[in-house]
Structure 1
Amino acid sequence: MKLVGKVALITGGSEGIGLATAQRFILEGAEHVFITGRQQEKLNEAVKKMNAANVTAVQGDVGNLADLDKLVDIIRQEKGRLDIIFANAASCTIATFGDITEKHFDDTFNVNVKGLLFTVQKALPLLVDGASIILNGSNSSIKADAGLSVYCATKAAIRAFARCWILDLKHRNIRVNTLSPGAIDTPLLRSIGGTEEEIQANLATWQAATPMNRIGAPDEIAKAVVFLACDDSSFVTGIELFVDGGYSQI
């Protein structure tokens, strides 16, 4: 019960890491959890799965500033404040250098960088002093992957945001940390590739490259988010916490 009385926002909360974190926040006693997602059907399924009265699902695209304004208005009307933001929504598709299109670049940066920045900035007036902001990065911020140069660049940008924002927000004692997962078994990870054979080959490659010799589970990331969200990490800010089975350390 580490989040009793806390109001939280989780973007990209309809599946994968976002959904697992929302479930974990509820178990930890959060007063209310707001989740977002692009597809209303998946949001409905997530709410049904959580089966909790203190969850509000808001359909929207973090890359759309009008959608973010709607989200902030709903949070303001329902709770009037935020104690935690987990900026989790992300996009990841393969594009080999030499074949990168303007659309691929724009789509990836629109969600991972622009969407994350304006999610946090627009929510700032609702954040209480002493709040916790967690940015979902990736070990791709420091590790290279063929065909993912644009994605890797967005995750490096997120790391830079955290470093700067701890200075911008220090007068309000708001902590900002980056959580960087490795290969986690989520729909997003499985979407990288094409056929089922290619997906399994990718999973095998990531598993073999991980010292713990396995793919991570979404709830393992969720537990790390809880640590960064609660008072257990009261003297932790500006870090990049790798939760990747050791992959980024070798």
Structure 2
Amino acid sequence: MKKFENKIAVVTGGNSGMGHGTAKVLKEMGATVIITGRRKEAIEKAAQELGVTAILSDQANLKDIDNLVSEVTEKFGKIDILYINAGISATASIELETPENFDKINNINYRGVFFTLSKFIPHLNDGASVIIFSSVLASTVSPGLSVYSASKAAVNSIVKTAALELASRKIRVNSISPGAIDTELFSKMGMDDEALNGMTDYLIGLTPLGRIGKPKEIGQLVAFISSDEASFITGSDHVIDGGATLL
């Protein structure tokens, strides 16, 4: 019997990157997996590749979150693993930041995370695992990423409060904070191939283990935190960065 057989797992932002890698791992371990995303073609393609269910949903849209919760619970019942992974980033100095970009980032990374968790809580099985995607930038400083960093610091605060509020139901709430992972994030930020390769080399140089991480490694961490072996872990942030924050 696979570890997550008969378990229902929801992965937001599961059409690419770390969400895709996590959905693949959970599926391989026997879970029934539902992935979400904002782009219909991308989410349907990913679902076909992975053999999972796709639901079109924008984490920045509260109506979409309501529809997601309704569709998941009507088709699958209560949830055992909730990985709130969807998020965006963009660079700008504090001086040049715009209200529009500030709202765009926070509507997905903070407000969307908060209400995805809030609206799923009544539909979580007792003993469920909730994992929220954070970042090492929640506790480190990088010029040009003040809004993104603040949104992730807010996530870490939500995790601790939720862990206390849900402890009586044995629901564990944790976050993971990746460093440099091999995803589409930088290309989505508008970098061309030359800039992307330069950024990758730069990040490798900042990582003591001498490489950047893989989406599958995020999935393996999510799977461990969601397993019975981690049943005494809650309210914690789990850094997975190859040692970069040690420097």
TM range (shorter): over 0.9
In the alignment, the residues of structure 1 paired with residue 80 and residue 163 of structure 2 have an alpha-carbon distance, to the nearest angstrom, of 16
Give 1:245's aligned residue: 242
| Residue 8 (structure 2) pairs with residue 11 (structure 1) | no
Amino acid at match of 1:33: V
| Residue 137 (structure 2) pairs with residue 137 (structure 1) | no
Deviations, residues 72-96 of structure 1 (Å, cap 9, x unaligned): 1111111111011000000011112
Give 2:177's aligned residue: 180
Deviations, residues 152-171 of structure 1 (Å, cap 9, x unaligned): 11111111111111111111
Q: Identity over the aligned pairs, expressed in percent?
A: 39
Relative to the length of structure 2, the TM-score reads 0.97
In the alignment, the residues of structure 2 paired with residue 204 and residue 94 of structure 1 have an alpha-carbon distance, to the nearest angstrom, of 19
Give 2:25's aligned residue: 24
SS of the residue corresponding to residue 14 of structure 1 reads coil
Deviations, residues 80-127 of structure 1 (Å, cap 9, x unaligned): 110110000000111122100001100000000011111111111110
Q: Is the 8 A contact 2:15 2:42 kept in 1?
A: yes
SS of the residue corresponding to residue 126 of structure 2 reads strand
Q: Is the 8 A contact 1:206 1:215 kept in 2?
A: yes
Q: Which runs of 5+ in 1 are unaligned?
A: none
Give 1:83's aligned residue: 80
In the alignment, the residues of structure 2 paired with residue 106 and residue 38 of structure 1 have an alpha-carbon distance, to the nearest angstrom, of 17
Relative to the length of structure 1, the TM-score reads 0.96
Give 2:36's aligned residue: 36
Give 2:113's aligned residue: 116
Give 1:47's aligned residue: 47
CA RMSD after TM alignment: 1.1
| Residue 165 (structure 2) pairs with residue 164 (structure 1) | no
Judged with a 3 Å threshold, the aligned counterparts in structure 2 of structure 1 residues 184 and 190 are, in CA distance, closer, same or farther, namely: farther
Q: Is the 8 A contact 1:93 1:192 kept in 2?
A: yes
In the alignment, the residues of structure 2 paired with residue 143 and residue 121 of structure 1 have an alpha-carbon distance, to the nearest angstrom, of 27
Q: Is the 8 A contact 1:193 1:199 kept in 2?
A: no
Q: Which runs of 5+ in 2 are unaligned?
A: none
In the alignment, the residues of structure 2 paired with residue 20 and residue 233 of structure 1 have an alpha-carbon distance, to the nearest angstrom, of 20
Give 2:91's aligned residue: 94
Give 1:61's aligned residue: 58
Count of matched residue positions in the alignment of Structure 1 and Structure 2: 246
